[in-house]
Amino acid sequence: MHPAKSVILFTTASGAGYGLIAWLGVLAALGLLPAERWFGFVAFALGLGLVVLGLLSSTLHLGRPERAWRAFSQWRSSWLSREGVAAVITFLPVGLFALIWVVAQANQGPAAAVGLVASLCCAVTVACTAMIYASLKTVRAWSSRWTLPVYLVLSALSGAVLLNPLLQAWGLPLAAPFAWVVLLLLAAGAAVKLLYWRDLDRGAGISSAESATGLGHLGRVRLLEAPHSESNYLMQEMGYRIARKHAARLRRIALVAGFGLPFLLVALGLALPGGGALATALVAVALVALGLAVERWLFFAEAKHVVTLYYGASRA
């Protein structure tokens, strides 16, 4: 599948933003975060900024962005519509939670309840994003049972990696124990991604050139002549092949940059004093951003659509 930059930015940025806000809600409810104004302001600005950036970016690949509001209407059947509705609903508890935290400097009691609702809404929105892809039977790499866990874990992971330097910068007592959570999530992220790739490499796809043409009873089917001498929309959108050539190398880059090196850096941060821990946490953010961008690019570029069976592929 063609890896559109707008969609890669949408899924990674909004995933990280929702992850960060979800952590704020959960940790506040556990009484682990002080309702300090400027910490809240920076954390919510970062989280909401990423969410808004992602959502705006997602409208960039639309042919008619000015009609995007129409996408809120078909939540009964469409995961894309559900995602849009969930994203809009999520702004309510998140905005309220941020307002109480920053203005009233409160995150306990009723404020904590609002925070938990906000966290839940964030998780639901990320799940809807994952289901847009996971519900497409035509793309085996996406209909994998690991797609939903990958999106949820990577969202929680990227949010936690972003929260980590904030905790360090404010010198909060939660910083050291939370670094262990980050380490755990980095390991979990690598694990779900490896399971996803193992699943992808093992299966062969339920459709073939034989079933696509229905000519399998006669023999082996191969494309003799394409409909056009030139490319067409379907081939450009669905027949993206560049990544498969470099897939193994790109997977290693995603694993090392997205999970391996950040793990070492955050572990190192545990042994360093405040300033060193902050520096390693910030470098970890940059590395996770790079790793997840490569991971998400591969999620699209490695995915093979069954329509390619009509354009020379033998299995999808």
Partner 1 sequence: MTSLPRDPGPVKLGLVIDLDICVGCHACAVNCKEWNTSGHSAPLTDSDPYGADPSGVWFNRIHSFEVVEDDGDSRTVHFPKSCLHCDDAPCVTVCPTGASYKRAEDGIVLVNADACIGCKLCSWACPYGAREYDEDVGVMKKCTLCIDKIYNENLDPRSRVPACVSTCPVGARHFGDLGDPQSEVSLLVAAREGYELMPEQGCRPVNRYLPPRPKRKPERAAAVAPAAMPGGVETAGLLARWVDRMLSR
- Find the binder of partner 1 among 96, 221, 268, 283 (CB under 8 A): 221
- Do residues 28 and 144 make contact, with C-beta atoms less than 8 angstroms apart? no
> Does 12 help bind partner 1 (rule: CB under 8 A)?
no
Cβ 232 to partner 1, closest distance in Å? 6
By the 8 A CB rule, do 194 and 254 touch? no
- Report how far residue 194's alpha carbon sits from residue 32's, in angstroms, rounded to the nearest whole number: 32
Residue 262 sits at the vertex; the CA angle it makes with 121 and 16, to the nearest 5 degrees, is: 20
Nearer to partner 1, 112 or 139 (CB): 139
User: Residue 136 interacts with partner 1 (CB under 8 A)?
Assistant: yes
Instruction: Provide the 10 A C-beta neighbour count for residue 153.
Output: 20
Indicate whether 6 belongs to the interface with partner 1 (CB under 8 A): no
Amino acid at 246: H
Under the binding rule (CB under 8 A), the answer on residue 14 touching partner 1 is no
CB-based contact 38:54 (threshold 8 Å): no
Residue 112 binds partner 1 (CB under 8 A): no
Distance between CA atoms of residues 84 and 132, nearest Å: 11
- C-beta closer to partner 1: residue 105 or 231: 231
Stretch that binds partner 1, among 29-37, 172-180, 201-209, 273-281 (CB under 8 A): 201-209
Residue 301 interacts with partner 1 (CB under 8 A)?
Answer: no
Half-sphere exposure (CA, 13 Å, Cβ side) for 9? Answer: 15
Q: Report the C-alpha gap between 97 and 106 in whole angstroms.
A: 9
Stretch that binds partner 1, among 42-50, 74-82, 144-152, 265-273 (CB under 8 A): 74-82
Supply the minimum distance, in Å, between the C-beta of residue 308 and partner 1.
9
Residues in region 223-242 near partner 1 by CB under 8 A: 223-228, 230-234, 237-238
The C-alpha angle with vertex 236 and arms to 133 and 202, in degrees rounded to 5, equals 50
Query: What is the binding site for partner 1 (CB under 8 A)?
Result: 1, 61-65, 67-68, 70-74, 76-81, 84, 132, 135-139, 206-207, 209, 211-215, 217-228, 230-234, 237-238, 305-307, 310-311
